[in-house]
Each structure stands twice: as C-alpha cells, then as structure tokens.
Amino acid sequence: MHKIVIITNLNKDTDGSVTKKCAKVLESKFDILYDDGTACEKTKEKLSGAYAAIVIGGDGTILASSVAAAQCSVPLLGVNLGNLGYLADIELSHLEDGLESFANGNFSVEERFMLEAVCHSADGKKTVLPALNDIVISRASYTRMIALDVLVDSQFLSSYIGDGIVISTPTGSTAYSLSAGGPVAHPGLDVSIITPVCSHTLGSKPVIVPGKSDISIRFHKTFDDKSMLTADGQRAIKIVDGDEITVSASKLKTKLIKVTNKTFCEILHKKLQG
C-alpha cells in the first residue's frame, strides 16, 4: 500500500477527532504515518517517499508544511478547520466525501509557484528561505522605519521608506500583500508582486514583475538597528546593514490536491464578501 502522512495542527484538532475520522476513511487503502508539522526535518523524513499528505488545520498549517512537502515532491490535501481558506480544499462538513474521492483517485493536482530568498550576511553566512506565500522584509522595532532600494534584474526600481516590503507569489497575493494594498493575482501565474508596507513615499505603488526576475534588496538608509526577513510568516532571520538579499523563483513547487470543483474566483468572491 502507498504511504500517506496525516499532518495535524494540534491547536485546531485538539481532541484528535478529525484526525481519527481521516484515518478511519483512509486506513484500508494506505499505510498512515502521523505528524504535527512542528519540526520541518522530522516532517520531511516522514514525507520522503509518501504518496500524499493530508493536512488538518487550515492555510497556515499548509504553509508550515509546504517547504518540506515541496522538497519531497509530495502533494498536500488540506482539511480546513479554520476560516474560509484559499489552500485547504476540504471543508469539515464534506470530510468523508472528500477523502473518499482522494482514496479512489478522483482528484487533480495544482502546482504553485514558490519564491526563494537568499541572504548573504556581511560575515559570509548564507541563508536560504523558500516560501509559498511571501517574503517579507520589515522593521524589527515599533518606533523606527527602514529604507530600502529595490532592483529588478539589476535595474533600479524604487526606494521604499516605511515599515518594509512584501514580495509575494500569486498564492500569497490574497494574504499580507492584499492587506498592504497589493493586487490579487490568479494562482496559475508565475509572477512576483512587490508591495510596500505603510510607505512614507506617496508615489509608492505595488509592482508586478515576471516570476523569473531576480529582485535585489539593499538598505539604502536604515533608521532601525535591525530588521527581519520572514518567509511565509513561519521562518525568520534578523538582517542588518551590509546584508545582501535576493528574491527569485524557487526550483521547488508546492503541489496541492483538489478533490472539489471549487474555483479560485468562487473562493475569492466568498472571501472578499466577508
């Protein structure tokens, strides 16, 4: 039998009841491993060679598992226990039907474009952070601004002074980028969206560039002693003057399993209507 991994957000499925229901539907057709998604390397080890992973929680739980799953080329099927999400395909009210469709092979797989931030520190250290949603460069304090120069394929784009910038994928265009005033992009596109956060320059607007472009960030003038580089709100490092940051397309792809016929436009309409 194929191996699958059930990744459960224990803060959402506190009594394990949803996990047990999933296992009951799937146990006759799959060997099942369990994980809580809190340790990337442990999750990656379990995902190695798996047919798929069932992610119980919501979009945040899928984001937390996306890098390990992408590295193992394992598709994710989300079970939504939170608010209406964009990534989790199965609602709790249709749990058994959705899982049976998956078990019977009645599903499709979407590949999602991912980004990769590379930070070269002044001390020679290199840090690589992949992201399905977004890369965020933000101030580390509550009182001071940061100022950044952004270049696209070595061509100067703009200087941003404010709380920072969000560089998002189309998948992430409905998350932090949207809250900061960025546009919504269809998840089938391979583009990057550069959105300033609380910019003090009135002319600063979001910019969409090809996904294959290299986006370089330099500290033109920093009013904060330290700033943060964050991937998907999950992984973060401190950055300082002298660090060189490049954001570009990742070789990784997140694979999402679809067992329903919900379209992006339908989900977007429901989400934006609140």
59 catalytic? Reply is yes
Parallel, antiparallel or unpaired: strands 126-131 and 134-139: unpaired
Q: Mean pLDDT across the stretch 30-56?
A: 94
What is the model's pTM? 0.94
pLDDT band at 122 (very low <50, low <70, confident <90, very high): confident
pLDDT band at 140 (very low <50, low <70, confident <90, very high): confident
Residues 6+ apart with CB under 8 A from 241: 219, 222
pLDDT band at 14 (very low <50, low <70, confident <90, very high): very high
pLDDT exceeds 90 at position 272: no
Residues 6+ apart with CB under 8 A from 142: none
Arch. (CATH architecture) of 2-107+259-273: 3-Layer(aba) Sandwich (3.40)
pLDDT in tens, 148-194: 899 999 999 999 988 999 999 999 999 999 999 999 999 999 999 99
CB-based contact 163:146 (threshold 8 Å): yes
Among candidate residues 59, 89, 163, 224, the one labeled active-site is 59
Q: Mean pLDDT across the stretch 74-102?
A: 92
* Residue 35: both structure tokens together: 């994980």
Could you tell me the residue ranges of all domains in the chain?
2-107+259-273, 115-251
CATH 3.40.50.360 for domain 115-251: no
Q: What are the DSSP calls for 95-117, one per residue? A: HHHHHHHHHTT--EEEEEEEEEE
